[in-house]
């Protein structure tokens, strides 16, 4: 197994977050590919773990000014993922691959002149666990609900990062059901939610307004203080794990029926 930079040979696997065996992930569209095209010349870095010519893990990180957080002279880890399903290439977790990917990213950031590296994690034992980063020397510097912001400085001059906190939420349109999807592009799970919500809105007809807010544009992150989310009539819908198309449509249909009542 080796850690190397992403190359064109593995683009298609990377765009599907190593789950090219999954029909579900293909519902997520080409948003990640578009996001990659936007940022690959703006400092985006992707390291992959390859074993027997198969990608079994990845880490992606970029300069903090293009991220969803506030910071200076840092890099931000969007995600780190080691394939953990029995399907496809099989389960590669708990073999130290994540640690090797993180170490490679940290060394790369040092060579690039970054003063530190930041990451987000969740306080529950799911994907991107905050506790895992803490074991790797990261310190929690900020939090937003279950989401923790962690960092590891490489210089005494490094300034701690901070979440960009939510400032407002979408407002309903009178006489309509308003569905608003905040989409960053880099996460297929969130892209999947966007595509399902958009399709459900089309199915529900003219009484539904669908709004897309792209948070790959940092101006939108500053304006809203939201990186990714789904709102229906101003109410935030739980999106972890991604709700099914049927569940999203049921929520929207219920709101449409209330309009008719």
91 with 27, same domain: the answer is yes
- List the beta strands (DSSP E) in 83-234: 116-122, 139-144, 147-153, 162-163, 177-183, 208-214, 229-232
The distance in angstroms from the start CA to the end CA of the chain is 61
From 161, 169, 153, 159, select the one nearest 231 (Cα to Cα). Answer: 169
Query: Given this model, what pLDDT does residue 197 score?
Result: 97
39 with 115, same domain: the answer is: yes
What are the average pLDDT values for consecutive 10-residue runs of the chain, which has 261 residues?
97 95 93 97 98 97 97 97 95 96 98 98 83 96 91 97 94 94 95 97 95 96 96 93 95 91 59
Is residue 104 assigned to a domain?
Answer: yes
C-alpha–C-alpha distance, residues 261 and 258, integer Å: 5
**Taking a C-beta distance cutoff of 8 angstroms, is the pair 197, 250 a contact?**
no
pTM above 0.85, yes or no: yes
- Residue 251: per-residue pLDDT: 97
Range of the domain at 75: 2-163
Same domain? For 115 and 40 the reply is yes
* pLDDT of the residue at 261: 59
In a domain, 234, yes or no: yes
For the chain, what is the domain count? 2
**Which of 163, 188, 207 delimits the end of a domain?**
163
Q: Tell me, yes or no, whether 44 and 131 share the same domain.
A: yes
pLDDT, residue 54, reads: 96
């Amino acid at each position: 197994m080796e850690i190397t930079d992403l190359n064109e040979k593995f683009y298609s696997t990377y765009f599907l977050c190593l789950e090219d065996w999954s029909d579900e992930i293909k519902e997520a569209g080409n948003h990640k590919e578009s996001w990659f095209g936007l940022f690959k010349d703006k400092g985006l870095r992707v390291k992959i773990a390859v074993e027997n010519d198969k990608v079994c893990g990845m880490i992606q990180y970029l300069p903090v000014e293009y991220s969803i957080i506030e910071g200076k002279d840092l890099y931000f880890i969007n995600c780190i993922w080691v394939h953990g399903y029995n399907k496809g290439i099989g389960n590669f977790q708990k073999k130290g691959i994540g640690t090797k990917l993180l170490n490679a990213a940290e060394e790369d950031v040092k060579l690039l002149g970054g003063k530190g590296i930041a990451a987000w994690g969740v306080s529950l034992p799911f994907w991107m666990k905050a506790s895992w980063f803490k074991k790797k020397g990261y310190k929690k510097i900020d939090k937003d609900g279950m989401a923790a912001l962690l960092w590891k400085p490489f210089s005494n001059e490094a300034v701690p990062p901070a979440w960009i906190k939510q400032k407002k939420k979408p407002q309903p349109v009178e006489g309509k059901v308003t569905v608003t999807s905040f989409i960053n592009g880099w996460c297929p799970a969130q892209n999947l939610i966007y595509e399902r919500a958009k399709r459900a809105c089309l199915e529900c007809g003219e009484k539904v307004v669908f709004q897309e807010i792209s948070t790959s544009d940092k101006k939108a992150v500053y304006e809203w203080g939201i990186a990714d989310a789904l709102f229906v009539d101003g109410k935030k819908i739980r999106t972890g794990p991604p709700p099914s198309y049927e569940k999203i449509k049921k929520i929207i249909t219920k709101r449409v029926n209330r309009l008719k009542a």
